[in-house]
Amino acid sequence: MSMLLAAAAILVGFIVLIWSADLFVAGAASIAENLGMSPIIIGLTIVSLGTSAPEILVSLTAAMSDAGDLAIGNAIGSNIANMGLVLGITVLVAPMMVHESCMKKEMPVLLLVTLGAGVLLIDHELSNLDAWLMLGTLALIIVYMVRSQQKDAVLLEEAEEEYLHHLNPVRAWITFALGLALLVASSRMLVWGAVLIAETIGVSELVIGLTIVAIGTSLPELAATIASALRGHTEIALGNVIGSNLFNLLAVMAIPGIVGPESLDPAVLVRDYPTMTFLTVFLALAIFISRKRSNSKQGHSYVGRTVGTLLVSFSAGYYYWLSLSL
C-alpha cells in the first residue's frame, strides 16, 4: 500500500511540477517584459532558472529533509539526462546547426564549469565554501552571457519569438504566484514519494535521484528543446540544455552544501560524475569536428542524427551500468 501511495505521489508530483514550472516561467517572463527587460536577458535568467526550477525545488526540499544524496543525484542525473536523452532525442527528431558563438563561448564555459565543479568535489565533500563558490561562479557567468549575447542579432530575434508571453501585469503576477506555490507543493510531494520508495525497496537515495527524479525533472527541458528545434530555433534549443546544465551544476548541486556540508557517496566520483563529464566532452568534440563536414555552413557546426544516436546509446549504457549496482 505504501509503495502505491509513493508511486502516486511521484506521478502526481511530476505532472504538477512540470505544469507549475511553465506557469512560473510565463508569469516571471511577463513581469520582466512589462518592466522593460530585453528578451535575451529574460531567456538567460528567468527562463533558464524556470526550466531548472523543478530541480532546484526538489534539491532544496531533499536537502532540508536530510536526503542530500537525492539532491546531488538529481543534479548530476539531470545533466546526464539532458545530454544523453534530451539533446540526443532532439537531434534525432530535428538535426541542428550550431552557431559559431556557441563553440567559442557557451560550450567552453560548460566544459570549464564541469571540470571545476569536479575539482571542488574531489575530496568527497560538498562544503559551504564549495557551494558559495558555485553560486558566485553562476552569477559571473550570467553577467558574461548577457553582455556577450546582447550583441547577437540572430539570437535576439529567436529569443523575442521564444520567450515573450505578453501577459498583462495582474495576470502575470497571479500566474507567477500560482506557479511558485505549486512548484513548492509538488516538489515536496515528489521528494516524499522518492524517499519512501528508496526506503521500501532498499535502493539508495542517490540512485533514485539519478534515475526517477532526474529523468522526471528533465522532462520540461525535453519538451522545450524539441519545440525550439522544430521551430528552427536551434540556438535556443542547444542553449536550453547548456543553460540548464550550468544551473544544475552551480545552483542545484550547491543547495545541499548551503543547507549543510554534504558527504558524497564514493560512486558519484567513480561512476556518475565521470559519465556526465564524458558526455559533455563528447558533445564539445562532436560540435568542433563537425565544422570539417561538407554540409556545415561556414562558421557553423552540424549536429546530426549520428551524434544523437551516440548520445542516446551512451546514456542507455550508463543506466544499464547503474542497474548493475542495484
Cβ(221)–Cβ(85) under 8 Å?
A: no
DSSP state of 147: H
Phi, psi for residue 125 in degrees, rounded to 5: -145, 140
CA distance 300 to 97: 6
Cβ(137)–Cβ(94) under 8 Å?
A: no
CA nearest 113: which of 17, 244, 10?
Answer: 244
Residues 6+ positions from 298 with CB-CB distance below 8 Å: none
CA distance 139 to 149: 16
Residue 294 pLDDT: 46
Amino acid of residue 275? T
Q: Domains (ranges, CATH) in the chain?
A: 2-324 (1.20.1420.30)
Q: Can you say how many angstroms the Cα of residue 130 is from the centroid of all Cα atoms in its chain?
A: 20
CA distance 67 to 213: 13
Cβ(124)–Cβ(265) under 8 Å?
A: no
Number of H helices, E strands in the chain: 19, 4
CA distance 14 to 246: 22
CA nearest 58: which of 252, 258, 264?
Answer: 252
Instruction: Please report where in the chains the cell 545552483 appears, as a residue.
Output: 251
Phi, psi for residue 96 in degrees, rounded to 5: -130, 150
Residue 198 pLDDT: 80
Could you read off the pLDDT of 192-201 as tens digits, one per residue?
888 888 878 8
Could you read off the pLDDT of 250-300 as tens digits, one per residue?
999 999 999 888 888 899 999 999 999 999 999 988 888 876 664 555 556
Residue 115 pLDDT: 94
Rg for the chain, CA atoms, rounded: 19
Residue 48 pLDDT: 65
Cβ(222)–Cβ(53) under 8 Å?
A: no
CA distance 39 to 210: 33
Residues 6+ positions from 34 with CB-CB distance below 8 Å: 168, 169, 172
Residue 157 pLDDT: 56
Weakly modelled stretches of the chain, pLDDT under 70: 1, 37-51, 100-101, 148-166, 228, 231-236, 291-300
HSE of 295 in the Cβ direction (CA atoms, 13 Å)?
6
> What is the SS3 assignment for 325?
coil
CA distance 121 to 264: 8
Amino acid of residue 16? V
Helix (H) or strand (E) holding 126: strand 125-126
CA distance 287 to 234: 13
DSSP state of 291: G
